[in-house]
A and B are shown apart, each in its own frame.
Chain A
Amino acid sequence: MGYDPQNPMVDRITDIGPPHYEQFLPPVIKKNFGKWLYHEIAQPGVLMHKAESGDECWTVRVGAARLISIEHIREICEIADKHCNGCVRWTTRNNVEFMVDSKAKVQPLLDDLKSRGNKFPVGATGASVSNIVHTQGWVHCHTPATDASGVVKAVMDELFDYFTSMTLPAQVRVALACCLNMCGAVHASDIAILGIHRKPPMIDHDAISGLCELPLAIAACPLGAVKPAKETNSKGEEVKSVKVTAERCMFCGNCYTMCPAMPLADPEGDGIAILVGGKVSNSRSMPKFSKLVIPFLPNNTPRWPETVAAVKNILETYAKHARKYERLGEWAERIGWEKFFELTGIPFTIKSVDDYRLAYDTWRTSTQFKFTSHIK
């Protein structure tokens, strides 16, 4: 029976979890599960895994916009039906992978993908710029300081050649989050694009006492800038509200997350910060957090030219100077951050100097430094 709103608990199925992945494995993967010997990248976007049995699994990785329609998913299913026995998978960076069990089946699949225009660009393997892990932006969220899909499209258009080739010193992970909730991978990516505010919240004294749990808004502030206060609403009545000390506010927006009566989005104030040098793998060096290098770029819709230029400049300077296998953060730490700023031509600002609680450890307690163009 269909859902009955009068008896919502009747025939209700719950706690069944996701279906077991084994149901959806291609036969060659099911057969050789846990018995792979080695793999090769045959060409950008095409991988070959060799099993102990001698079987081969060829994988073709294609880019996807992450935000996609059911029509697009159906087209992916159609390709999977035609070439891959109906099997397909998505990667952790939201690329799509088609798998076939022999080399002979790869070229027809590539030709088919190519015949569909730019819908399925093949690439994202090896030392490339793979897909940008990103968030909701103005498509669906209520706390963003920038858009996600729009910026990602603009940046990937410019970096497209790096998606379809493997010419970089190491893989470069680009991520975007539209506010500093940092949903996704912004805090640990080679290049991170982050939406930021630059103005304190506006407080709606008319609505705040009915809408908000005030102690939550107060406790949400990392700097103790929100305090309880008696304020006057538009009718002249005294209401329980909060006061924000503007000099202490760093515009994180946490109070708005907890309290809908404290909005802070602002078209001129909001924009993008660029962070670089993060990684999550343990290869060679330990995982790193990304660090702020550009404090603000405007939200210039629909192509964000300043942001695109900044990302491209950082990527190409890194590609020119770094050693093989060296991730962006490893390179910047080897040459010294003052050299990173000099080579990229990014002006160093006070915004990059940490001033939050554990800041001291990030300052230089050494005489070791290089003279650069920043020292006049």
Chain B
Amino acid sequence: MATIEHAGHSYDVDEDGFLTKGMEEWNEGWVEYVKSLEGISDLTDEHWKVINALQDYYKKNGIAPMVRILSKTTGYPLKRIYELFPSGPGKGACKMAGLPKPTGCV
């Protein structure tokens, strides 16, 4: 496990760059930091809509939403989500939102 320093904050991350303590350590500085890794030049309201949708769903249900639910709540088709987050909803958006790393046969 490693610790990342960014803009005066420190974050515990795993080898894939996901927050190991989850949303406990998450703040806006984390989003700024991940942005630079994920090839996103400008954070728009659309990005924030996805991040907020993920966080709200996670707080309420304890899991990340299925891709279909994310599309339905944000109104963005999967194609648009990939345009916003080139690494996709799991590796890109969930990482930025401070959700746990996706598991299973991925």
Contacts and interface: CB of A to CB of B under 8 A. Distances in A.
B21 A210 contact: yes
Interface in A202-225: 207, 209-216
A252 interface: no
Given A8-B39, A181-B105, A207-B20, A212 B86 contact: no
A277 to B, nearest CB: 27
A7 interface: yes
Contacts of A167: none
A147 B100 CA distance: 29
Given A8-B39, A216-B103, A211 B20 contact: yes
Interface in B7-27: 19-22, 24
A5 B37 CA distance: 8
Interface residues of B, number: 18
Please indicate which of the listed interface residues A7, A9, A209, A213 has the most CB atoms of chain B within 10 Å of its own CB.
A213
B47 to A, nearest CB: 15
Nearest to A208: B100
Is the contact region of chain B dominated by helix, strand, or loop, or is it mixed? loop
A283 B64 CA distance: 46
Interface string B80-100: 000000100000000000011
Nearest to A258: B103
B103 A209 contact: no
Contacts of A215: 61-63
A209 B104 contact: no
B63 A216 contact: yes
Interface string B26-62: 0000000000000100000000000000000010011
Nearest to A220: B104
Interface string A175-215: 00000010000000000000000000000000101111111
A181 to B, nearest CB: 7
Nearest to B1: A207
A257 B22 contact: no
A255 to B, nearest CB: 10
Contacts of A269: none
A259 interface: yes
Interface of A: 5-9, 181, 207, 209-216, 257-260
